[in-house]
Amino acid sequence: TSITSAKIQVNGVHLHYQQTGEGNHAVLLLPGMLGSGQTDFGPQLKSMNKKLFTIVAWDPRGYGQSIPPSRDFPPDFFERDAKDAVDLMQALKFKKFSLLGWSDGGITALIAAAKYPTLIHKLVVWGANASVTQEDVRIYNGIRDVSKWSEKVKKPLEEMYGHKYFAKTCEAWVDGISRFAEKSDGNICQELLPDIKCPTFIIHGEKDPLVPRAHAEYIHKHIKGSR
C-alpha cells in the first residue's frame, strides 16, 4: 500500500501527516523531540501490517513539514501537542484510535490518553517520562550543542531543518523541558496517569542515554493494569 503525504488545518496550523494501510484499527505514531513521522517512523510506515491497521504518522507543529509556525516551548507545549494530535485524528474522521508514542511523543500520548479516554483504544509508549529531575536536566544539557551529536543521529535532522533551525530548536527544547524541574516535584503529567483507562504497554531501552529507567517504572506503577 502506498503512503499518502498531506497537510490538514488543525487549531490554526497546517499539520503534516503520512497515512498508509486500510485496516480497521487506526494507529497514530507520535515522534520524539525534533522528530517527524518520516525521521522517527520510517520502518513502521513501511512494515506495520496494512491489512490490520490504518497507520498515521504526524509532524507536531514546528517540526518536520509542519513548519510554519516555528517550534516553541511554552509551559503547556505537551498539552498543546496532545490536543493537536487528537484533533488531527478527528479531522481525519477516525472515531477511535491507538497511540504509539516515543520520547516526547510518549509524554504527549500519555496526556492524550488521560484527557480523551473515550477516543483512545490502546496506548504504547517508550522512552517516556512523567517528570523531570535535576539529573535529567544534567543529561539534557549534555545534548544542547548539536555539533557534538553523532553523525548518524544528526544527519537526517540537519537535512530536514538546515543547521541553524536544528541547533536553535534543540537549545529551545532543552530550556523548555528543563523548566519542569523548577517545580517542587518536577511534574509534567504525573497526576494524569491514574486517569488512563485504556490497555497500556510500556517499553524501555535498558541503555536509553536520555531517560533513566526509573521513569518507565514510575509510569507503569501509576497506570492501573499497565504492562
Cβ–Cβ contacts within 10 Å for residue 184, how many? 5
pLDDT in tens, 86-104: 999 999 999 999 999 999 9
What ranges do the domains of the chain cover? 4-130+188-222
* Mean pLDDT, the chain, integer: 97
Q: Residue 184's pLDDT is what? A: 85
What value does the mean pLDDT take over residues 168-182? Answer: 98
What would the pLDDT profile of 56-89 be if each residue is shown by its tens digit?
Answer: 999 999 999 999 999 999 999 999 999 999 999 9
pTM of the model: 0.97
Q: How many other β-carbons are positioned within 10 Å of the β-carbon of residue 199?
A: 15
Whole-number Å distance between alpha carbons of 157 and 211: 20
**Amino acid sitting at position 133:** T
Contact 59, 154 (CB under 8 A): no
pLDDT computed for residue 89 by the predictor: 98
pLDDT band at 4 (very low <50, low <70, confident <90, very high): very high
CATH architecture, domain 4-130+188-222: 3-Layer(aba) Sandwich (3.40)
Where would I find the beta strands (DSSP E) of 61-111?
97-102
What does the pLDDT average to over 24-28?
Answer: 98
Percent of the chain topping pLDDT 70:
100
